[in-house]
Structure 1
């Protein structure tokens, strides 16, 4: 993991950085594995209350490493070549509802705590989709972004189609997917991909993460469960889930601490 991603944890905030700087943090097999390994570790790490995901050097992530394109043409793991492509490779679900490349994105969405992507330089193709896996995206105004798969005769297949449709108007998603055109962080803010457009995305993301880390971890985790479920739940199921989560929180240790710390005008002391 250290060859592709660095991880430091301080006061409940996990600072995750892609560190393949010589390749603009492009996605090779080792980077995919590092993203999955780091996400899965943080899912079970005690004391984690928020995560910031960023890229070291000139870019957030330049997308799929060009060296990986050659591997697409050859059968893998006994797959049989058929008319129109490969059978039994990407279709196989290896991590619940997703395959391995999708898991490199979906693992951040499924993390029980909020994740903020701090994006600068470029976020192309797979790198753009990794960014989408976060709860929030802080993007520098001059960042270059692209749903670039069409350039290589491909489709976005790292969970991008399932996340984009909840962030941006459908016709805009279609235009960007069909053309693969490069757009800026400024435009990302206007159309909805950027939560915040800022010249200092990592610094601002860390500040927000620290703010989140100061809130009740029980309520934050329950909020993420509710918001994740709201994407797919029918209203009746979503409304019931709100009530179930609230019943768990009312009168709990951390909920009482939230009330008392506010009434006593002091910093809260939450239990993990």
Structure 2
């Protein structure tokens, strides 16, 4: 948990999947205005064990709300974690007050063609070429191959590949076994059930240079969810690292709309 006691809480779901949440930091200082309650999904290094699949694990998100004795909570989710957040909102209507979905894994929800390769083609960098080759190769089938792919594809997560981004990419461990388990036992109609659900107010924040999520899939995703959408310039998959000022402004504006009616941790 990051932030001051008495501040309005927001539950944060990391991506990866099942990546150690250390890579989130304090979300570019968001903990100065909100108390960040960080979910450690099943399968992250601190939890032990493995995920039951993101659709089932969505119940853990509501478990956090129950622990806070909060009837509703705001949720910020990143990347793969946006699946769990949407599953929680769809399966437990009324418990999630608002959703902020940051650089979401998007193409699966609508079937929109992924345009990450076109974005990669705009960058004449050997690291991006290696990342793209790895992304187009065979999916890893063991831990060694998985870690090799994670290392090779890291540069594709950022609009630039400077020492700052390289340092950030090394934070937050995840494993092949945990990432694989995240996708087990998902209902075949999960995407349709989410699209048909009465979702809470939703905000999607993407990056115009996000090779991993793409741009057009994120547009289609936001449209399917009836969500507000902001795309940050010169930004890849980690906007709090790459564009911290713009990221904070976007999240602060969104969360400010919901602060007045939200209970603080000190009042629940």
TM-score tier by shorter-chain length is 0.3 to 0.5
Q: TM-score, normalised by structure 1?
A: 0.33
Higher relative contact order (Cα pairs below 8 Å, separated by 6+ residues): 2
Q: TM-score, normalised by structure 2?
A: 0.34
